[in-house]
C-alpha cells in the first residue's frame, strides 16, 4: 500500500521513476545529488518508497533532536557528529559507517556528498572511502528537475579513486538540479 501511495504522489507531482534499479540490493551507498533544495528529500523519499527499499540517510546530529527527530527517525535518519575530532575520542565518519555495514546484513545508506544545499565545487569523499572500506557498491541516486524523473541512474563498483570519481561526475553532469546555480560537479579528483 505504501508503494502505491508513493507512486501516486510522485505521479501527482508530475514526476516519473527511473526503473533502473539493480536486483538484489542489500548493502550499498546511494549518492543523493544534486542537492540544491529541500524538495530533493521529498522526491527521494517517494522514489525509494516506490522501490520498496528501506533506506537510511546521514544527517547532522542537530537534525535528530526534538522536534525534527519526529520526522527524521521514522524516515531513516542516522545522526552524524560533525564536530571536530580531538584525540580520536570518536570514530571518523568512514569508520562509523563501515562499522554499520559490518554490523547489519542489509543496509542502504543515502549520502549527500555535497554536504549542503549551497554551492560546493568539491564534494566530500567519505562515500567513496566507506564504499571501498565496507566493500559495497555505489548507486547514483538523483532528482532531475529538467526531465522530472527521480531514482537510481547507475551502479558504480569503486575501483581506483580518479576513475570512480570521473564515472560519477560524468553521470551527474547530465542531471538538472532545482537550482542549477547551486550545483557543481567535482573535477578536483
Q: Is residue 189 part of a domain?
A: no
Which has the closest alpha carbon to 120: 183, 52, 37?
183
**Total of domains in the chain:** 1
Q: Is residue 65 part of a domain?
A: yes
pLDDT of residue 131: 96
Q: Average pLDDT over the chain, rounded to whole? A: 87
Give me the phi and psi of 77, to 5 degrees please: -65, 140
Q: How far is CA 22 from the centre of its chain?
A: 16
Q: Is residue 74 part of a domain?
A: yes
Asked if 171 and 186 count as a contact pair (C-beta separation under 8 A), the reply is no
CA–CA distance, 95 with 154 (Å, rounded to integer): 25
Q: Which domain holds residue 44?
A: 2-182
Q: Is residue 121 part of a domain?
A: yes
CA–CA distance, 139 with 154 (Å, rounded to integer): 6
pLDDT of residue 86: 72
What share of the chain has pLDDT > 90, as a percent? 47
Q: Is residue 188 part of a domain?
A: no
Asked if 133 and 94 count as a contact pair (C-beta separation under 8 A), the reply is yes
The yes-or-no verdict on residue 150 having pLDDT over 80 is yes
The yes-or-no verdict on residue 89 having pLDDT over 80 is no
At residue 115 the predicted structure's pLDDT band, cuts being 50, 70 and 90, is low
Q: Is residue 84 part of a domain?
A: yes
The set of cell numbers assigned to 4 is 502505491
Q: Is residue 107 part of a domain?
A: yes
Give per-residue pLDDT as tens, 48-80: 999 998 888 877 788 888 998 888 888 788 887
Q: Is residue 187 part of a domain?
A: no
At residue 121 the predicted structure's pLDDT band, cuts being 50, 70 and 90, is low
The yes-or-no verdict on residue 17 having pLDDT over 80 is yes
Amino acid at each position: 500500500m505504501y508503494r502505491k501511495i508513493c507512486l501516486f504522489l510522485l505521479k501527482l507531482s508530475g514526476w516519473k521513476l527511473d526503473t533502473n534499479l539493480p536486483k538484489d540490493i542489500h548493502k550499498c551507498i546511494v549518492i543523493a545529488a544534486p542537492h540544491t533544495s529541500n524538495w530533493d528529500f521529498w522526491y527521494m523519499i517517494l522514489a525509494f518508497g516506490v522501490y520498496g527499499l528501506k533506506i537510511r540517510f546521514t544527517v547532522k546530529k542537530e537534525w535528530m533532536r526534538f522536534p525534527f527527530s519526529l520526522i527524521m527517525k521514522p524516515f531513516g535518519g542516522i545522526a552524524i557528529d560533525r564536530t571536530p575530532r580531538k584525540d580520536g575520542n570518536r570514530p571518523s565518519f568512514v569508520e562509523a559507517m563501515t562499522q554499520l555495514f559490518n554490523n547489519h546484513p542489509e543496509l542502504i545508506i543515502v549520502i549527500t556528498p555535497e554536504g549542503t544545499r549551497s554551492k560546493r565545487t568539491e564534494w566530500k569523499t567519505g562515500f567513496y572511502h566507506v564504499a571501498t572500506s565496507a566493500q559495497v557498491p555505489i548507486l547514483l541516486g538523483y532528482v532531475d528537475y529538467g526531465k522530472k524523473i527521480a531514482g537510481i541512474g547507475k551502479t558504480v563498483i569503486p575501483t581506483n579513486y580518479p576513475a570512480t570519481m570521473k564515472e560519477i561526475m560524468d553521470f551527474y553532469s547530465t542531471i538538472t538540479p532545482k537550482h542549477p546555480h547551486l550545483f557543481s560537479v567535482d573535477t578536483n579528483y
